[in-house]
């Protein structure tokens, strides 16, 4: 277990903090039998009529507005697949995450859980087709460039093969697994709709995505370039399917890539798709920068950059890029 | 939609904020076929081997440590059934909730999502027996003493029959429904174990429960009266099954009840069970106080007291009781 991060360097001063749910829709379920359900074993049953309207596909958002503000726009943090906004909170080994770091730097941060994950809840089987996907512990270790590929995970932590020089806190990998949540594979349209609703509520923002959310960030920016003023793509794994990237050319973007990509089983292809996407944005007249960390002399980063031991150094590079756009002063 | 609560009265100063997951266990799943899964529709499939170890039944906890501190112990907020820690955050109509209020009063607050809810994630079907329970929108309206009983809910908000004088922000009821999450009915032991693990990590604390968590708060206090220094039972709906309440007699407790109970279909029985439990604690030599809000001249509270329009007035009464124990100075 990590220690509680109570020994934080200086106080965080917030003009406001709070949360809300946004988006989603109502559905109606009919024709089901009324049931007597013991909500807790051994207790009296309660009569439950499952028929009626349900709220589904909403999204949870928690916000922290610091004082004073130096970020010129809200900063929206969108997590990757199988995870929640916890991605950006305390790291698995108990250090401060990017949420705290950006708040301390004066950004109003909005941290959300994608539709069907975490505090967003999930809809009845009538809405989400297919089953939730559960992944065993080995999956992330072998897929997120923490371990040395397939077979590197072992149930015995002392026998796991960590990539040499890896900066992920591998001794806290078991703790990291506690934040992994099930996901459906059929919910992309609902997630995209909720992120659009969030931007419409919050207004012009900087969007920072990770991994799976690449497709959500780029799709939403393509739809509303007036609301996405900058897009930070942290190891994006998905992109919009559209051919016309004209709207995206209005949104400055930065892609950030960690280490160990060339030797990985999957990442050379994912990155090649990303670079091809960025080239198309540039061809359409847009700005699409790449921060290749090893090329910049920063070695050892896994796919979970925001949890790696040098997480604040990477956040600083991202913020410098945003400062160059006049979005942090 | 509520406004963002950005117009909060004074800054919140935090010595620390962060989150962690605690508790749970590992299970092993074997004998399943390896599958090719398209994690996102239209994308290339990924090879997923579902066999191996899984982390299950952990619990998410978010903490806020204010500066200066006036609460003499950590304050743990445990939510009710079908909900998450969002219960204590911003109210559905956009006011500050009990989380902010207690933090502003100098309490180090630990707000958690019970096992299988919210950011705690949920386990594969091999672990949780039965299906998740989904409740239609009408259920909470009719069951939480917001509407005037069965039949009071209508899909058209203007046609809903709200209890006369009710202080729940009924015009934000649709927004409230966005925070309702599915629940299993077979997870009580796992939830109890996770709350015990939390107390063992945080140390002696004040525990404030709501509704379903009555059984978790009282069961945990019975097991570890050395760690639960005071127990605030906000409309408790469950209690420990044990006959021997000797350990609980060491834990001062306060039960808080709102309005409209006598006329409700279910609450007279639930409250009678609660009062019988409190009488048994007293008979065992314990202190078990009751704050009956209507008797105290405070009328109109629903089951969701922490969201009602007078939510901070009720929090003040709870804090006064804690101050009387020397736990707030």
A246: closest CA of chain B, how far (Å): 23
What would you report as the CA-atom Rg of chain B, rounded to the nearest whole angstrom? 21
Q: What is the pTM of this model?
A: 0.97
Chain B residues whose beta carbon lies within 8 Å of the beta carbon of residue A191: none
Q: What is the pLDDT of residue A41?
A: 63
- Residue B202 C-alpha, separation from nearest chain A C-alpha, in angstroms: 9
Gap between the Cα atoms of B225 and B268, Å rounded: 29
Name chain B contacts of A241, Cβ cutoff 8 Å: 42
Q: Beta-strand (E) ranges in chain A?
A: 12-22, 25-29, 35-37, 46-48, 52-56, 59-66, 75-78, 109-113, 205-210, 228-234, 253-257, 288-292
* The two three-digit tokens of residue B15, written as one number: 């010595």
Option in A4, A54, A63 nearest B63 (CB): A4
Q: Is A326 helix (H, G, I), strand (E, B) or coil?
A: coil
Q: How many CB pairs under 8 A join A and B?
A: 240
Helix (H) or strand (E) holding A309: none
Percent of chain A with pLDDT over 90: 89
Extract the tokens encoding A209: 């995505």
B181:A60 CB<8 A: no
Number of Cβ atoms within 10 Å of the Cβ of A108: 25
In this predicted model, what pLDDT tens digit does every residue of A100-155 receive, in sequence order?
999 999 999 999 999 999 999 999 988 888 889 999 999 999 999 999 999 999 99
- Determine, for residues A4 and B19 on separate chains, whether the beta-carbon distance falls below 8 Å: no
Ordered alpha helix ranges (H), chain A = 98-104, 137-143, 173-177, 188-202, 213-223, 267-283, 311-324
Low-confidence ranges of chain B (pLDDT < 70): 1-7, 40-43
| Residues of B whose CB is below 8 A from A122 | 181-182
pLDDT band at A79 (very low <50, low <70, confident <90, very high): very high
Q: CA A19 to CA B124: how far, in whole Å?
A: 29
Task: Say whether B212 and A40 touch across the interface (CB within 8 A).
Answer: yes
Residues of A in contact with B83 (CB under 8 A): none
Distance, in Å, from the CA atom of A163 to the CA atom of A301, rounded to the nearest integer, reads: 10
Are A73 and A327 spatial neighbours (Cβ–Cβ below 8 Å)? yes
CB < 8 Å to A201, chain B: 1, 4
Closest of A140, A131, A56, A227 to residue B137, by C-alpha? A56
Question: Residue A108's closest chain B neighbor by CA?
Answer: B6
A256: alpha, beta or left, given left = phi > 0 and alpha = psi -120 to 50?
beta
Q: Are A248 and A285 in contact (CB under 8 A)?
A: no
- What's the CA angle centered on A210, arms A205 and A216, to 5 degrees? 65
- Subunit contact B18:A5, Cβ cutoff 8 A: yes
Average pLDDT, chain A: 94
The residue of chain B nearest to residue A85, with distances taken between CA atoms, is B119
Judged by DSSP in three states, A290 sits in: strand
Which of B3, B18, B104, B213 to substitute to test the interface with A, most A CBs within 10 Å? B18
In the numeric block, the tokens 């299988």 are attached to B116
From the CA of B89, how many Å to the nearest CA of chain A? 6
In this predicted model, what pLDDT tens digit does every residue of A227-270 receive, in sequence order?
999 999 999 999 987 888 999 999 999 999 999 999 999 999 99
Looking at residue B45, its pLDDT comes to 82
Rounded Cα distance, B177 and B183, in Å? 14
DSSP structure class, residue A296: T
State the pLDDT at residue A1: 36
Q: What was the pLDDT predicted at A46?
A: 82
A282: nearest Cα among A315, A251, A317, A323? A251
Question: For A239, what's the count of Cα atoms within 13 Å in the CB-facing half-sphere?
Answer: 22
Structure tokens belonging to residue B186: 């077979």
- Tell me: the pLDDT tens digits for A6-54? 568 899 999 999 999 999 999 999 999 999 888 766 677 888 899 999 9
Mutation target to probe the B interface, by most B beta carbons within 10 A, among A32, A43, A112 is A43
The backbone torsions φ and ψ at residue B27, rounded to the nearest 5 degrees and listed phi first, read -125, 165
> Considering only CB atoms, which chain B residues are within 8 Å of A18?
4-5, 8, 89-90, 94, 96-97, 100
| DSSP H or E stretch at residue B202 | helix B188-202
């Amino acid at each position: 277990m990590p220690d509680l991060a109570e020994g934080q360097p200086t106080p965080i001063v917030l003009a406001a903090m709070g949360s809300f749910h946004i988006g989603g829709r109502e559905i109606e379920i009919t024709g089901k039998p009324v049931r007597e359900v013991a909500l807790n074993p051994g207790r009296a049953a309660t009569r439950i009529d499952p028929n009626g309207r349900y709220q589904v596909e909403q999204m949870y958002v928690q916000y922290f507005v610091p004082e004073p503000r130096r970020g010129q726009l809200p900063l929206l943090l969108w997590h990757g697949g199988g995870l929640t906004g916890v991605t950006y909170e305390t790291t698995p080994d108990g250090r401060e995450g990017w949420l705290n770091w950006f708040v301390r730097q004066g950004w109003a941060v909005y941290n959300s859980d994608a539709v069907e994950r975490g505090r967003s809840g999930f809809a009845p089987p009538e809405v989400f087709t297919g089953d939730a996907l559960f992944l065993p512990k080995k999956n992330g270790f072998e897929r997120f460039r923490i371990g040395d590929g397939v077979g590197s995970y072992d149930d015995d932590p002392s026998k796991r093969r960590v990539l040499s020089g890896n900066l992920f806190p591998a001794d806290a990998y078991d703790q990291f697994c506690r934040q992994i949540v099930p996901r459906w594979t059929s919910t992309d349209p609902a997630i995209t709709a909720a992120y659009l609703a969030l931007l419409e509520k919050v207004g012009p923002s900087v969007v920072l995505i990770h991994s799976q959310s690449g497709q959500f960030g780029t799709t939403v920016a393509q739809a509303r370039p007036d609301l996405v003023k900058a897009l930070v793509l942290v190891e994006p794994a998905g992109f919009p399917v559209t051919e016309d990237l004209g709207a995206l050319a209005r949104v400055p973007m930065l892609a950030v890539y960690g280490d160990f990509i060339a030797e990985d089983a999957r990442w050379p292809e994912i990155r090649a798709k990303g670079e091809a996407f960025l080239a198309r944005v540039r061809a359409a007249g847009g700005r699409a920068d790449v921060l290749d960390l090893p090329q910049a002399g920063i070695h050892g980063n896994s796919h979970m950059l925001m949890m790696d031991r040098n997480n604040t150094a990477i956040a600083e590079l991202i913020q410098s890029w945003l400062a160059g756009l006049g979005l942090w002063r």
